[in-house]
Structure 1
Amino acid sequence: MLMKHDHFLHLTRIWSRPGLTLRTQLLIARRVARQFDQFDKVEGVVYSRASRSLKNGLPFTKGKLDKLEHDYRTLRKMRKAGRLAIGEWLMPAGAEIEAELGVDGICDVLAINPVHRAEAAEAKPSQAVDFLVFVAGLEDSATHFSARRPSPWKEGPLFHCVLELMMKFTKENPGALGDPFAPDGPLYGASKTLVRNDGTIETQRAALTLHSRDGTARVIERKPEVSR
């Protein structure tokens, strides 16, 4: 449910109050993060409709269209910063949260279905929050995929916050996680696409391995495909 703006601001002010328990902080973080997701969905629909209407009136509506796009980008940047702030709080606090709430307590707050909680045993000590939120992606499993059906994808309010933190880390430390397209990497063999600042799109497809009848093989590297 989409909260009123005043209620949302009041919730964020509660967050800054001293003496809150970790359970309360985690509950507020989840509620705020969920609200970010709701804002994305609602504003995305509103923006698409308004944008289509204004584009039909071009060039006379260009000023209004520019303002609409600017406001939409600004709101998205604000939510991105909010998710990042939650992720930066959640990850360092994970061990402390686990010590205070226990794994079952964390599962209760994250609304994880009891039939999925056995997966928490795979988490290393003091890493239950990271595992349940991001690795296993079980947040809200009691709501979205009840019974024993596995989740078709990873999502959840806090998952998006941790994902935002991870994307920031990979941008600031491009070599820290290794090349996923390298041999033995998870994306080895997949095509790589690079969009340059001038609008040029460069696609590097996987190398071809040619096998001869005599049992020998050779690898042919493909040239990058460039388009606009």
Structure 2
Amino acid sequence: MQVKLKYKDRLGELLVMPHISPRSRLIVVRRIARICNSQWVETREYFRELIKEAELGLPFTTAKLKKIDAMRSEARSQHKATSYQIGQWIYENDDLLTKLYGFDGVCEVLEVNPVHRPEVLEYAEDQHRAIAAVAFIAGMEESASRQSGRQRPDYKDGPLFNVFMDMMIKAMKENRASMPDPTAPGGPLYGLPSYTMQADGSMVMNTPAVTVHSADGSKVVASKPGRRNGPVTPSKVATLFANNENVSRHEGGQT
């Protein structure tokens, strides 16, 4: 750990040197991100073991557990602060680095296998920000060493991917009102059941809204969670219209 700390300090000195190129600066930033991720994995495991040991002595170790938890929270805050700084630098320089070195030049620094680069372009919505496209959108950072043709990983990973993930989580927590509803039509979670917590703490699944179509127009009917008479079904709401033509699940009023 001490060696890594000294190495990270040296990288920090290199980062502020005025004569290094933007490409070299990106390499240094990526190396710092890698060390920070590695240190956080070790730190997290260290506190996990401390907590496990202290829990064996409950209730006599309650104060000790609170102290360990406070130390873990402080370590987490420091790690996140460093991760946010790295992410902010990448966000501010992604467009510049892409212009200076091109898409392939950024892929070389991020160790993207040439075979995988067309896939990155397929995923990338903004090709002017190659770092975000490679590391976060496509998850192809270090694909030359981590991803073979037959053994592709089941999840995205990499030093810069974890930085982007921390940035996204931070943005979601701080700007909840600006986030679109993921369960709304067109959202990634549309169609999944949702639940409402009752006063006694139990969870009741919300029944889907249904749209009744008739010659007189369409009407959306939804039931309340835990309704005594049971959920609203197409057969029940069909009686709402004398000339019922079609009853379907609500999908924006379309049949």
**TM-score category by the smaller chain?**
0.7 to 0.9
- Report the TM-score when normalising by structure 1: 0.80
Name the residue aligned to 1:185.
187
CA deviations 1:35-72 (Å, max 9, x no partner) are 22212221222222221111212344334332222111
Name the residue aligned to 1:72.
72
Name the residue aligned to 2:225.
223
In the TM superposition, residue 206 of structure 1 has moved relative to its aligned partner by: 4.9
In the TM superposition, residue 220 of structure 1 has moved relative to its aligned partner by: 4.2
Matches within 5 A, 1:47-66: 47-66=47-66
CA contact (8 A) 1:207 1:219 kept: no
1:159 aligns with 2:161: yes
In the TM superposition, residue 149 of structure 1 has moved relative to its aligned partner by: 5.0
Name the residue aligned to 1:10.
10
Name the residue aligned to 2:175.
173
Distance 1:19 1:50 in 2: 45
Name the residue aligned to 2:111.
111
CA contact (8 A) 1:112 1:141 kept: yes
Distance 2:11 2:177 in 1: 38
In the TM superposition, residue 21 of structure 1 has moved relative to its aligned partner by: 1.5
Name the residue aligned to 1:134.
136
Matches within 5 A, 1:25-44: 25-44=25-44
CA contact (8 A) 1:2 1:35 kept: no
Partner SS for 1:153: coil
Distance 1:194 1:33 in 2: 40
Where in structure 2 are there 5+ consecutive unaligned residues? 213-217, 227-255
CA contact (8 A) 1:84 1:164 kept: yes
Bigger CA drift: 162-171 or 104-113? 162-171
CA contact (8 A) 1:208 1:220 kept: yes
Structure having the higher Rg: 2
- Superposed CA RMSD: 3.3
In the TM superposition, residue 75 of structure 1 has moved relative to its aligned partner by: 0.8
Distance 2:190 2:33 in 1: 34
CA contact (8 A) 1:94 1:128 kept: yes
1:20 aligns with 2:42: no
- Cα gap change, 1:90/1:50 in structure 2, threshold over 3 Å: closer, same or farther? same
User: What is the aligned length?
Assistant: 218
Where in structure 1 are there 5+ consecutive unaligned residues? none
CA contact (8 A) 1:180 1:187 kept: yes
Instruction: For 2:155, give the aligned amino acid.
Output: W
- Report the TM-score when normalising by structure 2: 0.72
Structure with the greater relative contact order (CA < 8 A, sep ≥ 6): 1 or 2?
A: 1
Name the residue aligned to 1:87.
87
